[in-house]
Amino acid sequence: MPIKFKPSQKTFVKGRGTRIEHFYIKNTSTKELIEYINKGQKPKVKQKCRNELDRRGVNLVWVPVTSD
């Protein structure tokens, strides 16, 4: 199974039935992964994001937060 970014979501559309939407990390945009690393709460998911960005060849530059 591919790695999930967030849990799957089941929606119901009248006349069409149920639709299951999966949120795989490989389908998530680079911008969204970087935003989650910066403001995310769960360390396990943040590590998944870092691993995916490394797989894509994106280099992260860590900058210390200043209190200005």
Question: Measuring CA to CA, which residue among 4, 10, 8 is closest to residue 49?
Answer: 4
pLDDT, residue 44, reads 94
Band (2; pLDDT cuts 50, 70, 90): very high
Q: How far apart are CA 44 and CA 62, in angstroms?
A: 19
Cβ of 4: how many Cβ atoms within 10 Å?
Answer: 13
Which amino acid would we find at residue 3?
Answer: I
pLDDT, residue 1, reads 83
What is the domain extent for residue 34?
4-56
Strand, helix or coil at 12? strand
- For residue 8, tell me if it sits in a domain: yes
- For residue 68, tell me if it sits in a domain: no
Would the pTM count as exceeding 0.85?
Answer: no
- For residue 40, tell me if it sits in a domain: yes
Residue that wins the pLDDT comparison between 18 and 62: 18
- For residue 61, tell me if it sits in a domain: no
- For residue 9, tell me if it sits in a domain: yes
How many domains is the chain built from?
1
- For residue 34, tell me if it sits in a domain: yes
- For residue 38, tell me if it sits in a domain: yes
pLDDT, residue 7, reads 95
